[in-house]
Amino acid sequence: MKLYRGDEVDKLQSFLASRDVESSPEIMQQVDDILKDVKARGDEALLEYTEKFDGVALSRIQMTPAEITACAAEVSEEFIANLREAAENIRFFHKEMVDEGFHLEKDMGIYMGQKVTPIEKVGVYVPGGRAVYPSTVLMNVIPAQIAGVREIVMVTPPSEEGINPYIAAAAVVCGVDKIYKVGGAQAVAALAYGTETVPGVDKIVGPGNIYVAQAKKAVYGKVDIDMIAGPSEILVIADDGANPAFVAADLLSQAEHDPMASSVLLTVSERQRDAVLSEVARQTALLPKADIVNASLGTYGMAMVCDDIAACIEVSNRIAPEHLELMLANAADYLPLVKNAGSIFLGYYTCESIGDYFGGTNHVLPTNGTARFYSALNVDDFVKKSSYIHWSKEALMRDGAKIMNLAENEDLEAHKNAVKIRMETA
């Protein structure tokens, strides 16, 4: 891990920002070609791309309910039970986000408000290759269900054996019964434009590789998307009371994701920093993905000693991490100081893994500093908010001249006339 002084924040932040890798022109062109082809040829193109990229010759894209059930039955009852409990925790948290809108009454028959309406159709992309995350099914589907989305469909790439059974199990736990065996940019195209089999949707959510991310960027505007997620990241602020073994384990939990994942330690003493680094080395040697961990920590692992905890949090706010752990005594007392973070984990025992799987908060989070302006996936991501207004005849008579004056000074005569004609015929 690289070591930084407390006055080297700009250098640290600049280096982390270098992880934001743009798609190459070649990838952008490939994705564009796939999108156009699926839009033009529909299912025929999907079947060809599935055989080309996944090595699977399909006769049918959509899974039947019986196939989903049989696939899910391959996992253990214990796993299903744990998924169900995790789902309940996610519902417990997200149901508090429901917005019922509002209605306001003024004088003279004037009223206005906000109407909240669920998005009609949502497509969930679920990776099915090297990275298989059934927990992501729960995190994407449950907020949409709580929002009242009428139709939720899932796409996931198949292998010769079918789709991953853990993904099927998560779909069963969530009650998703429309699963399509297609992945990559072609799956995004199918969801955006619709095919003979795959329904077009209004919003696409879920993570994927660089081709999926580029496809989501390209179809944004035709449909909505959740976000473009970058490599995973964690920032741990640890005081001298934090167990170095705990801190190291949490830094490693993100480093094992990807060679481009970042793990950052901020602390107030060199003694604690050195103790954590020693634990990082010891624990890494025991991990099955030690090669990935070493690549990640060697490039994007960082440790900085700051003057005090407040200074640590100032640095963290500059970085705006995806996951922020406050491994501090009385951690909640510092919560008001945190301005930019995707999800915040408080105390010595709240490891980031709890939020990833079981705690109830969402693990679909902004990365690469976008927590400065973006939020975790939530119920609001699956609704639209429309304003409404009613103006009575009497109110228009009272205020019409003011409205016409404003329109006239914007040189919009037709706007002015829409008021004037009503006032003259009253």
Six-digit token pair at 378?
């939530």
**Residue 42 contacts residue 160 (beta carbons within 8 Å):** no
How far apart, in whole angstroms, are the C-alpha atoms of residue 319 and residue 336?
17
Distance CA 258, CA 231 (A): 7
Catalytic residue among 323, 325, 352, 363: 323
d(CA 31, CA 34): 5
- How far apart are the C-alpha atoms of 318 and 395, rounded to whole Å? 49
Can you give the C-alpha Rg of the chain in angstroms?
Answer: 26
Contacts of residue 220, defined as CB under 8 A and 6 or more positions apart, other chains included, come to none
Catalytic residue among 322, 325, 352, 363: 322
CA–CA distance, 134 with 128 (Å, rounded to integer): 10
The torsion angles phi and psi of 104, rounded to 5 degrees, stand at -120, 135
Respond yes or no: is residue 270 known to be catalytic: no
CA distance 396 to 24: 57
Return the half-sphere exposure (C-beta side, CA atoms, 13 A cut-off) of residue 416: 12
Contacts of 24 (CB under 8 A, 6+ apart): none
What are the phi and psi torsion angles at 225 (to 5°)?
-130, 165
Give CA–CA dist 16/300, Å, rounded: 7
Helix, strand, coil content of the chain in percent (nearest 5): 50, 15, 35
Q: Is 161 a catalytic residue?
A: no
Question: Annotated active-site positions, please?
Answer: 322-323
